[in-house]
Every structure is written in C-alpha cells, then in structure tokens.
Homo-oligomer: A and B are copies of this chain.
Amino acid sequence: MTIRYGVIGTGALGGFYGGMLARAGLEVHFLFRSDFEFVRIHGLRVDSVNGNFHLPEVNAYHTTQQMPVCDVILVCMKTTGNHLLPDLIKPLLHPESVVVLLQNGLGLEEELSAQLPGVQIAGGLAFICSNKVGPGHINHLDYGKLVLGSHNVSNPEILKQVVNDFQSAGIHADLSSDLRFARWQKLVWNIPFNGMTVVLNTTTDSLMANENTRELSRELMLEVIHGANACGVPLKESLAQQMIEMTIKMKPYAPSMKLDYDFGRPMEIEYIYSKPIETARDAGFEMNKVSMLEKQLRFIQGNC
C-alpha cells in the first residue's frame, strides 16, 4: 500500500517531517499559509544536522479545498489554531483516512473525535529541535524521534506503514501501544520547562544551574507524574530524576513556548497546562504547582 500524505501546517515540524517524506519519494501534499507563494516559486529548504536538502518542487496548496483527499493527514500546526481543525481537515477526508495529531498536550484526540465523529485519529509526539527560520526554510538543530499512537484507529496496519515510511525516510519512528502514556510522559518535561522559561524569561541551562529552579523543576515533574498516576497512567517517579539529568546535559534550549512568547505568538497553554490540570482534577488529583504556573502564563498571555 502506498500512502498519500497531507501535511497541515508546514512549519518547524511539518516542514521537516513532510520534507523528509517527500525527499524519500513519498507522495506528500503540503498546506502553506503565508509561505505559499514563496514555496511555489522557490520550493522547500531544510537545513538539518543530518544533511541539508532542497526540494525545488513540492505539492504546495494555500487551502485544503484545493488539496486531494489523503490517506494520512499529519497535523503539524500549533494547538492554538485547533479550533480551525475540523474545517481544515474535512476536505482531505476519505472513508479510510487517518488524522495524526503531531502536537503537544492532552485531550487533543478526544476533542477532534467529538468534532469529527467516525474519523480515525492518532497522535504523535515529536522529540526534535527545529525552527522555521524563513519562508519555506526549516532549520533542524537536533534530535528528531517520532512516537506515534492510535486513539481510535480501526486498522492497525496503517500506522505500522506510516512508521515504516518515516523510517525509510531516515526518521527514527516508533509505535506506542499507549498514546496517553506517551502524551503524559512528554508533559513531564514540557510542563516545567515551557512555562518556567517564559515566566522567568530564561533558558533550560540557567534553570538547571540554579539549585532553586532545579528543585522546582523536579517538584513540577513529580506533580505531573502523580497526576498521570491518578489517571491510571503508570509513570514512575524515577522519570523526574532522569529528565533532570538529561536536561542538565542538553545544550542551552528555549522550548517552543518560549519562542512563541518571544515572537509574540499565542502560547499553547490550553493543551499543555489546562487540559492536563482538568484531567488530573477529574481523577481526584490537584496539580497545585502546575496550576500556579498555568495562572502565571495566562497572566503573561493576557498582557502581551
């Protein structure tokens, strides 16, 4: 089976992953917003630690109405635009299409599933440092691993095929048997570092160099782990120490929310903070410090 891919949101993520698939010869159709005219003329450029490449001609579109129906739709937009998703996705659907939400946070698949009943939905987590540095120009700095998992996909073979396609395109991809586990696990890192780098206007290395914020990061991580546990997701407490040690070894890093804040874009507070807080609360666990960070971020967001 040959999969026809659609990429919604061709930025740091969609440009890299979609670009890698297209370079490997797979059929990929890209939705662009502001970069559409530029890419139609100049193509898509990816500067990657694994080797730069340029795709002079890509299947570029300005609206999803102009795109063909796709077998797998990779959603790579920021979650701050998710209210637009149902209308964006509908023109791409055929009866067997699978939508893959390559986004951070919690509750994404559940929300889209309620908006598009009967549509097969999966989720994915990208462990990558990449940025869009100009129109149709992606800079891939480090990492790149992709973890995919089913939300309600009835045919498990198609996700295996997607993982194979990514692997043949040179991307380290895995299939998780538990998407909720994978989403909560990534939140253990995302919740402390996205919010703290914004509130304290700093980068991960400075947070790790100061004993107060190193300890606070650990406390926030443990709160997320206990929140996950309350929801029946068996994350271990030892994950906090592992992630602290990993972050100490990382190069100075500004997480995506810090970049969003620095560039005046809306922050992904809803799905990275509010939804996990609500989900844990519904399960009887109050994430007090995470909730404090959420309120600080909402104050900052409201004053931008």
**Chain B residues whose CB sits within 8 angstroms of the CB of A298 once the complex forms:** 210, 212
Do A299 and B215 form a contact, CB below 8 Å, given A288-B289, A292-B292? no
| B200 touching A300, Cβ below 8 Å | yes
- Bound: A296/B212 CA distance, A: 7
Which of A199, A207, A299 neighbours the largest number of chain B CB atoms within 10 Å of its CB?
A299
| B299 touching A212, Cβ below 8 Å | yes
* Among B215, B219, B295, contact of A216 (Cβ-Cβ < 8 Å): B295
* Among B199, B216, B295, contact of A212 (Cβ-Cβ < 8 Å): B295
Please, which residue of chain B has its CB at the minimum distance from the CB of A302?
Answer: B210
Do A296 and B202 form a contact, CB below 8 Å, given A212-B302, A302-B212? no
Indicate if A206 sits at the interface (CB-CB under 8 A): yes
Binary interface encoding of chain A residues 166-193 relative to chain B, with 1 for a CB under 8 A from any of its CBs, else 0: 0000000000000000000000000000
A177 to chain B, nearest CB (A): 35
| A207 touching B299, Cβ below 8 Å | yes
**Chain B residues whose CB sits within 8 angstroms of the CB of A294 once the complex forms:** 212
Indicate if A238 sits at the interface (CB-CB under 8 A): no
| A199 touching B289, Cβ below 8 Å | no
**Chain B residues whose CB sits within 8 angstroms of the CB of A207 once the complex forms:** 299
Indicate if A50 sits at the interface (CB-CB under 8 A): no
Instruction: Number of A interface residues at 8 Å Cβ cutoff, please give it.
Output: 23
Indicate if A242 sits at the interface (CB-CB under 8 A): no
| A200 touching B288, Cβ below 8 Å | no
Indicate if A2 sits at the interface (CB-CB under 8 A): no
For window 183-231 of chain A, which residues contact chain B by CB distance below 8 Å?
199-200, 202, 206-207, 210, 212-213, 215-216, 219
- Bound: A302/B199 CA distance, A: 15
A190 to chain B, nearest CB (A): 18
| A296 touching B206, Cβ below 8 Å | no
A97 to chain B, nearest CB (A): 38
| B213 touching A295, Cβ below 8 Å | yes
Indicate if A303 sits at the interface (CB-CB under 8 A): yes
| A210 touching B288, Cβ below 8 Å | no
A–B complex contacts, Cβ < 8 Å, 6 sampled: A202-B299, A202-B303, A210-B298, A210-B302, A210-B303, A219-B292
Given contacts A199-B199, A212-B295, 18 further A-B contacts (CB under 8 A): A200-B299, A202-B303, A206-B299, A210-B298, A210-B299, A210-B302, A212-B294, A212-B299, A212-B302, A213-B299, A216-B292, A216-B295, A219-B292, A288-B288, A288-B289, A289-B289, A292-B292, A292-B293
